[in-house]
Amino acid sequence: MSILLNKNSRIIVQGITGEEGLFHTTNMIKYGSVIIGGTSPGKGGEWVMNGKLPVFDSLKLAVEASGANTSVIFVPARHAADAMLEAVDAGIPLVVCITEGIPIHDMMKVKVYADQKGTRIIGPNCPGIITPGESKAGIIPGNITLPGSIGVVSRSGTLTYEMLFALKQQGLGTSTCVGIGGDPIIGTDFVQILSLFEADPHTEKIVMIGEIGGQDEERAAEFISSSMTKPVFAFIAGISSPPGKRMGHAGAIIEGSHGNAASKIANLENAGVKIGHNPEELAASLK
């Protein structure tokens, strides 16, 4: 069982003819993901992957021809917002945007429109989704995780990889891992993913990877306290960050007394969440 993505997901790659698009399409196919083609305006009618995958001029044409229900976006930042809007208009229910550097005001428009139309966007500036042993949509390496019953949700791409590998080293597997992205405006937040894991009968425990900036972790703590029955474990990056200095992600902006690591950890601990000092320690406590 999984959330969002499984072996029946039919994936279309927006930006498939670019270097990044081709590289990660190859890796997704090797992992077992069902990739049914891609889009690249002006290149419709061409074929990639040694003539195995068709290229379409538009996502609407791709969906009509293939029945795609998931999109992965590798489009450059200046065009990525339009790519997400195109996916929404084409009726794609799940859109995974890997692209970073999308202007905040562009993403605000996309999020409002996607919410109105009922499209779930993961990202942007994220590593994507992987359901071990079934499918992956994005750039998470397939060899660092095992199938299992631990749900993982993370703001940080690199820490996502470290957490998955730490779990694997302990012999622990993952039901689904979702990298939600580190930008100030993202399509899907911690609470929404936690809710999906809570409803998934094959997810028994949840790992949450957060970092300084914003208040998503504090909101997640409120939801965990009021609505979660499954145990949640967390690691919050940035406990040693110098005060007043911007760190890493565009979303790592501390707002007064909110958004710092200590505040997030305190709120999560008050909600009954087990906190680890690093992914390895967290994986060991899960075992």
Whether residue 148 is predicted with pLDDT greater than 70 in this model: the reply is yes
CB 185, CB 111: distance < 8 Å: yes
Question: What is the bridge-based pairing of β-strands 120-122 and 174-179?
Answer: unpaired
Tens of pLDDT, residue by residue over 99-126, are 999 999 999 999 999 999 999 999 999 9
CB atoms within 10 A of CB 171: 10
**Arithmetic mean of pLDDT, 128-153:** 97
C-alpha dihedral sign at 280, 281, 283, 284:
positive
pLDDT, tens digit, for every residue of 55-103? 999 999 999 999 999 999 999 999 999 999 999 999 999 999 999 999 9
Task: Round the average pLDDT of the chain to a whole number and report it.
Answer: 93
Dihedral of alpha carbons 208, 210, 214, 215, sign: positive
Residues of the chain with CATH 3.40.50.720: 10-122
3-state secondary structure of 181: coil
Q: Is the pLDDT of residue 259 over 80?
A: no
Distance CA 106, CA 245 (A): 26
Q: How far apart are CA 119 and CA 113, in angstroms?
A: 9
- Where does the pLDDT of residue 257 fall: very low under 50, low under 70, confident under 90, or very high at 90 and above? low
pLDDT score of 81? 98
Q: Which residues face 154 on adjacent strands?
A: 179, 209
Single pTM value for the model = 0.94
Which has the closest alpha carbon to 84: 156, 14, 11, 9?
14
Scored b (16 or more CB within 10 A) or e, 76-100 reads eeebbbebbbbbbebebebbbbbbb
State what percent of residues in the chain have pLDDT above 70: 93
How would CATH label the architecture of 10-122? 3-Layer(aba) Sandwich (3.40)
pLDDT value for 166: 98
User: What separation in angstroms does the CA of 93 have from each of 67, 122, 272?
Assistant: 12, 11, 33
pLDDT (0 to 100) of residue 34: 98
- Please give the Cα distance from 185 to 100 (Å, whole number): 12
* Whole-number pLDDT of residue 250: 52
Please state the rounded mean pLDDT for residues 124-136.
Answer: 98
| pLDDT of 3 over the 80 cut | yes
Q: Cα–chain-centroid distance for residue 125?
A: 9
DSSP 183-213: SSS-SS-HHHHHHHHHH-TT--EEEEEEESS
Mention the CATH class of domain 141-286.
alpha beta
pLDDT of residue 246: 55
Q: What is the pLDDT of residue 159?
A: 95
Strand partners, 236: 210
pLDDT at 247 over 60: no
> Residue 36: is its pLDDT beyond 90?
yes
Strands 94-97 and 120-122, how do they pair? parallel
Rounded mean pLDDT of 219-246?
86
Looking at the predicted structure, is the pLDDT value of residue 251 above 80? no
The residues assigned a catalytic role are 249
Q: Considering only 47-56, 217-226, 255-264, which range has the smallest mean pLDDT?
A: 255-264
For the cut 90, the answer to whether the pLDDT of residue 171 exceeds it is: yes
Beta carbons within 10 angstroms of residue 256's beta carbon: 7
Query: What's residue 287's pLDDT?
Result: 85
Burial class (CB in 10 A: 0-12, 13-18, 19+), 58: middle
> CATH 3.40.50.261 in the chain, residues?
141-286
pLDDT of residue 252: 54
What is the H or E stretch that residue 54 is in? strand 53-56
